[in-house]
A and B are shown apart, each in its own frame.
Chain A
């Protein structure tokens, strides 16, 4: 469903992505793991058409994100927490997003309820806590009832109840045939819900396969992660 092919991205002389390629398939939760600065966000930003790749391409159901019609009805995403202007209310934020993609306004109340923000719907986003901003970002991703969900660090700042809720949500979404791509550096969360793993380090994909494939040689996912991302050197712990 999501196809990333040979992405290369330079920032000045620094190579941020070095031929990154992988797939996220329908009906599965694909976890995209890597240390800070490994290239996770850069990959997702190119996938969502925010940044341009120097080489390669990223496709959603065979099309580039920028050529999708009403993209939020195909792919819901959360990259930067709430992604809302701080002086707007949550309801107003979701309302304009819905309007831009021809999504019925009743979906706004529905997703606010779904993420548990109904009581704070008329509060300005600038007054939100980190977790509430995260919930608003999720509400925005769910707004268009998309088939694909792309979430950058979705559990960041969520309380334990929120983490459990999102785990259930993503599992159910994949089980219903949807595609989920989530980036994270919380190994524990990922081990519980991911079907497939893509591990990136230094701008390169160092492991790609099912959870079992990738972790077979190691005791835990965490061991696998550090072994694969340390690039042969001892990891600083």
Chain B
């Protein structure tokens, strides 16, 4: 079994799923639409001389404020990549699940999971490569000269890469968790809630500082240092911790996936 063909098969399977495209669309169009609305509001406030109402001073920060919606898209891609394998067909079509076909075609289960993870990474990075530059460009175009501050180019690049990494790691976490649950409902619910401002992890940080080491809190600063919540890990160590979580969960998922009856 050549690893490349397993990967190609997984990639083809994923890119044929409407839900994966929906996830990508949520990230691209959602970030674009939010940036559009926010940027118009920011520009109007800045032009009217009310910078305190605008929320953000630079176009880049305005665009980056809409990045959490991209996390939702990444969660959808990661969850659906796995849950689609376990969705039962209608009884007319035999009531079968795709996982049977997948494992008959590629019995080495760890290989399947690795290929799936690689396909998810590729798709999320592709989504990020469209969504992030598009949002930033859109915000620049709308706010333009009204901006009261700018973000230096090297910091901007670092934060763009950081956001793409955060999305990718979130998608991998979603993939790993869905291996355990098989159904997509619980991981979608939990991960979408946690990628929002009412994140349970965020609440836990108020009870114990250990919660700063949870994957979503650890990676939080990849988007930049502007976050309102104090404390926690800096971008670099945070990225390492979050990557560690993603890899560890994938390893456990691989062990479970290999041993469990399909």
Q: Interface of A with B (CB < 8 Å)?
A: 80-82, 86, 126, 130, 133
Contacts and interface: CB of A to CB of B under 8 A. Distances in A.
14 contacts: A80-B90, A80-B91, A80-B92, A81-B91, A81-B92, A81-B95, A82-B91, A86-B88, A126-B88, A130-B91, A130-B94, A130-B95, A133-B91, A133-B95
A127 to B, nearest CB: 11
Contacts, number: 14
Contacts of A130: 91, 94-95
Nearest to A86: B88
Interface string B114-127: 00000000000000
Contacts of A81: 91-92, 95
Interface of A is mostly: loop
A81 B88 CA distance: 14
The 4 closest A-B pairs by CB, nearest first: A81-B91, A133-B91, A80-B92, A80-B91
Given A80-B92, A130-B94, 12 more contacts: A80-B90, A80-B91, A81-B91, A81-B92, A81-B95, A82-B91, A86-B88, A126-B88, A130-B91, A130-B95, A133-B91, A133-B95
Most chain A CB within 10 A, of B90, B91, B92, is at B91
Nearest to B90: A80
B86 to A, nearest CB: 12
B200 to A, nearest CB: 26
A80 B88 CA distance: 14
Contacts of A86: 88
Contacts of B88: 86, 126
B90 to A, nearest CB: 7
Interface in B55-102: 88, 90-92, 94-95
A129 to B, nearest CB: 9
A84 to B, nearest CB: 9
Contacts of B95: 81, 130, 133
Contacts of A80: 90-92
A175 B176 CA distance: 59
Contacts of A133: 91, 95
Nearest to A126: B88
Nearest to A84: B91
A80 B89 CA distance: 12
A126 B91 CA distance: 10
A82 B92 CA distance: 10
A130 B91 CA distance: 8
Contacts of B92: 80-81
A81 B92 CA distance: 7
A108 B53 CA distance: 64
Nearest to B92: A80
A92 to B, nearest CB: 18
B213 to A, nearest CB: 36
A81 B91 CA distance: 6
B174 to A, nearest CB: 23
Contacts of B90: 80
Nearest to A133: B91
